[in-house]
Homo-oligomer: A and B are copies of this chain.
């Protein structure tokens, strides 16, 4: 007989909140588990593995929909891994776009900060930086 445990242990074993686990179940990321007589969810070792996979991919910034897709693909062991590869590459590109956006934004903020020479709000150049002037 395998080791079985309730949702609290799964939560501490994976670092995923109990409410979040139930949410993932509703969202179709993890399968509805067996229940005890008292209607408690019971999990096994495989569930820890799967939930850790979910947590890891979420931490890496994949959306729930992408995680669902990755889980589905990872279950088809004999399939070519090209699709997975492509998904990760696309996500990498997305992350690169976000970094570029934030870097541009960072520069604007740094410029704003550099422009401030103290004094009153009326004199503050930061606010000018935030007030796009669009002609006379």
Alpha-carbon distance between A60 and B123 when the two chains are bound, in angstroms: 21
Contact with B along A115-134 (1 / 0, CB 8 A): 01011111110110011101
Interface residues of A, CB < 8 Å — how many? 51
Number of identical protomers: 2
User: In the complex the two chains form, is B132's CB within 8 Å of A84's CB?
Assistant: no
Chain B nearest Cβ from A8, distance in angstroms: 18
Chain A stretch 66-82: residues in CB contact (< 8 A) with chain B: 70, 73-74, 76-82
Question: A residues within 8 Å of B by Cβ?
Answer: 49, 52-53, 56-57, 59-61, 70, 73-74, 76-82, 84-85, 88-89, 91-92, 95-96, 98-99, 102-103, 105-106, 108-110, 112-113, 116, 118-124, 126-127, 130-132, 134
